Structure formats: structure tokens, C-alpha cells
Amino acid sequence: MTGNHILEIRNLTKDYDGKVILKGISFNVREGEFITLLGPSGCGKSTTLDIIGGREKPNGGEVLFEGKDLRPIPANKRQINTIFQNYALFPQYNVFDNIAYGLRIKKTKEEIVLKEVATFIKKMGLEGMEYKKVNDLSGGQKQRVAIARALILKPKILLLDEPMAALDVQLRKKMQNELKNLQEEIGITFILVTHDQEEALTMSDRIIVMNEGKIQQIGAPEDIYNEPENR
């Protein structure tokens, strides 16, 4: 690891069917940092997230996690979890079993599963909903379940692919504050993808502005707001 960089992206390239999606992007992410990839649809931000998470392979470049090459490591072996826009919850399971899913897949002792799930039920404000089906939950409640399910596995990086896009404005602002407070409390690295500038400015330690497969600017929210390089 270089300094306190948990993740290093070096000259990443990606194309689909001859269309270039990523044009040699490079950036570093510090341990415990809240980073946002900000840009319009089609700029390459979600593809970048998919490469970090192991759902896509780059055509070129390097992805280093704690100084080690991530590319040969399958998604389920990385210490990286993802929350998707649709949350990808299991409709056949209740809240408790959704949150417990990853621990049970890892054959964790049931007494530990019960204790860990109870901790995250409380942390995410889901008390009393343990046995509800996820289809009976509101959008904000579904998001809390998805966050708990991801964090219970204690990843070192949490990837968030526009998880608040489907929420109404009032709930979105509430969840932005909750997510930022949670990230500061648990201290792990968050990487968020969004096209919403206000969301990026509100939540991030640093913002990576992307457009047409390139990085336009990297900086703190106040720098991006006061001195944008894409005017």
C-alpha cells in the first residue's frame, strides 16, 4: 500500500464492442475516505465501480487493493461489497434472513449470526421489522436492509451504485445524512457513484468528476464547487 491508500487505480481502460468506455483513468483512494465518482450517464463511473467490485474486467491498467493486484481475484473473494440501485434484496426472505444471508453463506455459527444481525438491526433502525418481507418495506427501509446486509460482512470498501436515485427528495436527503454519519462511525472506505452534484458535494471527502471516459477533476467538495474545471 502506498501511504494510506487502500485502493489504487492506474491507467484503467475498458471498451465494449469497439466503443471506448474508460480512457486510461487513474486515481487513489485513502483508507476510511468517502469518495464520489460524479458524472453524467455514460461517463464510465458505473463501469469503474464494476471493475473495482470484480463484476467487469478491464482491458488494460491496474487495480491495486492494499498494494496487491485485484484483477485475478473473483468478486466474492474481495473484501469489497456493493449496494446497487435496486438493492438486490431477496424477496422470498424476510429482513432478518436478508441481512444474515452473507454470514450464512460463509457457514458462520448461528449464535454469531443472531448476535451480528441483531446489532445491525439496531444500528440501522430496523427494530420490529425483522420478520417483514422486504416487498412490504418502504424504499428507505429497503436501503437500510441492503446497507446492513453489506456491512455485516465487514468489507474494507463499500461500493454504492446510485443507491438513492429511486428515493423521493426528502427521503434522499435524510438517507444522505444517515449514510455519511454511518460511514464516519464505522470508518470504512465508501465509493459512491452518482450523477447528482448536490449529493456528491454533501457526502464526499473528495469528488472525482468524470466525463466521456476520462477524469476531469479530483478535489474536495469546496474546490469542485468553487473552481470547477469543466465550465
Over residues 46-92, the pLDDT tens digits come to 999 999 999 999 999 999 999 999 999 999 889 999 998 778 899 99
Residue 20's pLDDT is: 95
For residue 136, how many other CB atoms are within 10 A of its CB?
11
Residue 22 has, within 13 A of its CA and on its CB side, a CA count of 25
Residue 1's pLDDT is: 33
CB neighbours of 139 closer than 8 A, spacing ≥ 6? 166, 167, 168, 171
pLDDT per residue, tens digit, the chain (231 aa), is: 334 899 999 999 999 988 999 999 999 999 999 999 999 999 999 999 999 999 999 999 999 999 999 999 999 889 999 998 778 899 999 999 999 999 999 999 999 999 999 999 999 999 999 999 999 998 889 989 999 999 999 999 999 998 888 788 888 888 888 889 889 988 999 999 999 999 999 999 999 999 999 999 999 999 998 988 864
pTM of the full structure: 0.91
Using CA atoms of 197, 19, 215, 68 in order, give the dihedral in degrees to the nearest 10. 110
For the chain, percent of residues with pLDDT exceeding 70: 98
Q: Of 196, 193, 176, nearest to 184 (Cα)?
A: 176
Q: Of 159, 120, 147, nearest to 6 (Cα)?
A: 159
Residue 21's pLDDT is: 96
**Residue labelled with grid coordinates 433502525:** 125
DSSP assigned state of 7:
E
Residue 230's pLDDT is: 65
For residue 216, how many other CB atoms are within 10 A of its CB?
16
